[in-house]
Chains A and B, each alone.
Chain A
Amino acid sequence: MISMKGVSKVYVPDKPAALCDVDCEIAQGEFVFIVGHSGSGKSTFIRLLLRELVPTSGTIIVAGQDIIAMKNRRIPYLRRNIGCVFQDFKLLPNKTSYENVAYALEVIGKSRHVIATQVPEVLRLVGLEEKTDSYPDELSGGEQQRVSIARAFVNRPPLLLADEPTGNLDPATSLGIMSLLNRINKTGTTVLVATHDREMVDSMRKRVIALENGKIIRDQSRGVYGYGD
């Protein structure tokens, strides 16, 4: 699903790299945590996969496509195969929950009929069937994040990226979000979560890739957040 080889990203020349010579393979259907302190390169890792950033060197293959060599106008098609969830939700403020989720389908040209059946279904999956006509500022943080997960998942992408999805949420809400992501993973979607939520990582026992100063310092299946650090 994801293959990174020798990937480095330098934002400012002559400053330490955000990511330094990272190699990593993630198979289809995996659930992977990327952990590390702020500034360790987690977000850079995610943004590179979305082609929001281009690495300074190295190659990245996502779903069989070399996304470095990819032409700019192909980027939207890459992103339609990647659902993404962010710490700040990134919902369109002038659209209701329903419309935010529907937007991801409108973008790929789905008919109104398909939208009308799939959107309520996925909103039910995330437990928001009561809030379809609410605007983002009328929803709690946890609800907004569930809308954003619904949007990321509605077109059944093979890969779902989440950058600190529980960063702004309380522990109980976080648990709900994580179990939602876990359920999505069970449908066959590869899920990649960047987080520094220790409890969550330790309780879920998934593959953990730990980053520090832009380097992978640990990669273990069924891992925990870290050894007392």
Chain B
Amino acid sequence: MHANKHLRRRASIDNVPICIMIIASFISFISLLLVTLLLISVSAFTPNTISNSGRSSTSIYQYATGTQQFVEVTDLRSPRDVYSMEQWAIQYGLQKADGVELYSTNDEMKDYSLYTSTGIAAGQTALFVPSDIVLNSEVIAQEFSDGSLSAAEESLIQIDNQARFPQGAEYRLPLFRLMTKILVEYEKGTDSMYYPMLNSLPRQFYNGVSMTKVCFRCLPPYAGWLTQNERINCSHFTNALRQGYVPLSQETIYNKQVTQWAYNCALTRFHEIYSPTRAKLIGPMADMINHAAEPNCEIQVDGNGNMNVVSLYDIQPNEALSISYGEPRNPTP
């Protein structure tokens, strides 16, 4: 049987034209060469420690990505990557007037803002932020079409009612939506399209939410009340999320540092609009402009949700862009 098989194979080989054999041999040689090159390249870029075992290689790979996957918010010293955010935003269509640049306002590189190196004429758009990368509380409400967000909002209203803040809960829903969105995107880690934006946000805050009981005891009653109020708001938002309606992991919503960070980012970086509906928006880079009592810019939002930072008057070269953090009255109280 074996001899016959061998003979049949020998015969079949003899019947194949010589040119086909040459092509087949060439393909085999090329395949062998490619496999060899691949093996060489893998060994060249793989550390010796993980080349011995496929399993250990996978474990280390997972660990490596795990440490880099989420925005590091628990370490207050972790750096803000504002320049990667800028590149990311430009890829999505963000436009800056000539000379508008980021700069750090302190030595510790914790605070950034924008300035113009060349000057900007009155009425000129200094910064255009397309709606695609703007976090918009109205859009967020539509994104959660499964009802999970509205269920969490109902929980928040109940929590506020129990705490005797009956008028406040619904008014604060836009802020709640922003905080929720930030947490949802935070959980996606580098898979989130907003990762560069989240990774550019501050880690340390000095506002009421961040203050301790000792801090409150050093403030006069009115300032103490206002600052504690922010802390209570954050606590109510977090408790509403802990009801489990919005798909967030336990690790996230029970991590106080993460929830406080998300609340603080939403609270300190939004721009509010009242038309066509009241909404709060966070626009990358536009959210970095600092406050001035006499600002040289204002933020305008068009009907499509694009944000424009427009100069109010001629801005001189090397002058920082500024807006007012003053709170305009709600026209529909």
Q: Is chain B found bound to chain A in the same assembly?
A: no
